[in-house]
């Protein structure tokens, strides 16, 4: 499928080409960048390439502001992680950072210009009770107080209900694996936890090993039904591939590890769409080996049509019937692969027809960013 790239994608892949943009194109670029959570990343790329001063004043101010906000959030994130570590000092669990927090604390390029709304950690399932108790003692409160939601999270999901700090307003998601236990893909969680690596300079703070970190990022993107941050997450994958790919043994480990963890399908999609949409350089033997996770030809064709549309900026300039249809199909798919049919019908039916009296109150308590 050939189509012209969206402006924010072109800008991030070839920042040197921005010198010829008109004022209207700069306006569109800033709007696309902001809506897809990539504006600060673009500012970082332009700064690193000594191009930021060549940007016209008005868009330059937006870029610099976005980068300053990202840096401020990184400082707040580091403090929040420190608070979490202190709170769990007696929990007797390894605290494993996931996604954006892990990128920052591990010093990865994927963290540059990244913004955050919460902190994700993972602990062994056997340690969930102690972890939750210690967090509550130190000021975090659980959300989703409806009895059904509690049962839904604790019996079927890969995490407990999000916890929000009573004073700072920040949110922590506590996982015990990376996919719901009802998902069609079964993750080898013990193997995942056995291979975590300690983060230097921190006490009892860990991250997934590089191959696993990439596989988790792929799993997160290609099992979600919300694409508000889809393009940002695709660029995360591109950054992880480029950074980890420098190591001599990374590519050789990638597909065998995906087989071990049961994550060959998300790896296939990650390789397919980063190479197709972002020109990510991947050895040919890895692309061939990763086909072990490919779906049938018909499914692959449908997924390609959907993902090539869905992984675009969530912005008015890309709001077409095709994009909306693709995102709707992938939203349905995300539920279909997350739980068996009988549970899916019950869950969606309950959400549609049974509205708890405090439903609106719960929805209003969305996670704030880490500026609090």
User: What does residue 172 show for φ and ψ, rounded to 5 degrees?
Assistant: -125, 135
Q: Do the beta carbons of residue 119 and residue 95 sit within 8 Å? A: no
pLDDT tens for each residue of the chain, 372 residues long: 445 789 999 999 999 989 889 999 999 999 999 999 999 999 999 999 999 999 999 999 999 999 999 999 999 999 999 999 999 999 999 999 999 999 999 999 999 999 888 899 999 999 999 999 999 999 999 876 677 667 777 777 888 889 999 999 899 999 999 998 888 899 999 999 999 999 998 889 999 999 999 999 999 999 988 898 999 999 999 999 999 999 989 999 999 999 999 999 999 999 999 999 999 999 999 999 999 999 999 999 999 999 999 999 999 989 899 999 999 999 989 988 887 666 666 666 666 666 554 444 444 444 444 543
Burial of 321 (0-12, 13-18, 19+ CB in 10 A): exposed
Q: What are phi and psi of 141, to 5 degrees?
A: -120, 145
Nearest partner of 85 among 123, 41, 142, judged by Cα: 123
Q: What is the pTM of this model?
A: 0.90
pLDDT value, residue 358: 43
Q: List strands edge to edge, sheet with 163-165.
A: 140-142, 163-165, 171-175, 119-122, 95-98, 205-207, 197-198
Phi/psi at 144 (5° precision)? 55, 70
| β 197-198/205-207 pair status | antiparallel
Neighbour-count burial for 137-149, b at 16+ CB within 10 Å, e otherwise? eeebebbbebeeb
The pLDDT value recorded for residue 366 is 41
């Amino acid at each position: 499928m050939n189509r012209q790239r969206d402006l924010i994608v072109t800008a991030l892949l070839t920042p040197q080409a921005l010198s010829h943009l008109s004022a209207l194109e700069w306006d569109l670029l800033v709007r696309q960048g902001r809506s897809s959570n990539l504006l600060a990343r673009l500012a970082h790329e332009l700064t690193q390439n000594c191009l930021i001063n060549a940007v016209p004043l008005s868009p330059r101010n937006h870029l610099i502001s976005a980068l300053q906000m990202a840096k401020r959030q990184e400082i707040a994130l580091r403090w929040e992680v420190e608070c979490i570590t202190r709170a769990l000092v007696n929990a007797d669990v390894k605290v494993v950072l996931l996604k954006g927090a892990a990128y920052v604390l591990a010093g990865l390029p994927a963290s540059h210009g990244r913004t955050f709304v919460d902190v994700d950690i993972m602990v062994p399932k056997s340690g969930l009770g102690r972890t939750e108790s210690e967090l509550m003692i130190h000021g975090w409160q659980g959300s989703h107080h409806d009895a059904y939601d509690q049962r839904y999270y604790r019996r079927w999901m890969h995490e407990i209900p999000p916890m929000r700090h009573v004073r700072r307003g920040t949110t922590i998601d506590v996982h015990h694996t990376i996919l719901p236990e009802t998902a069609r893909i079964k993750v080898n969680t013990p193997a995942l936890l056995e291979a975590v690596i300690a983060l230097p300079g921190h006490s009892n703070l860990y991250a997934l090993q590089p191959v696993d970190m990439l596989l988790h990022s792929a799993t997160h993107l290609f099992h979600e039904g919300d694409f508000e941050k889809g393009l940002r997450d695709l660029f995360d994958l591109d950054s992880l591939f480029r950074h980890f790919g420098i190591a001599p043994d990374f590519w050789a480990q990638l597909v065998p590890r995906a087989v071990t963890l049961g994550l060959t399908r998300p790896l296939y999609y990650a390789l397919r769409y980063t190479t197709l949409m972002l020109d990510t350089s991947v050895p040919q033997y890895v692309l061939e080996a990763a086909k072990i996770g490919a779906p049938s030809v018909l499914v692959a064709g449908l997924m390609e049509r959907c993902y090539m549309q869905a992984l675009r900026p969530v912005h008015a300039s890309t709001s077409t019937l095709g994009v909306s249809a693709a995102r709707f199909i992938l939203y349905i798919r995300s539920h279909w692969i997350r739980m068996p049919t009988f549970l899916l019908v019950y869950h969606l039916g309950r959400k549609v027809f049974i509205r708890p009296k405090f439903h609106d109150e719960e929805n209003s308590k969305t996670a704030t960013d880490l500026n609090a």
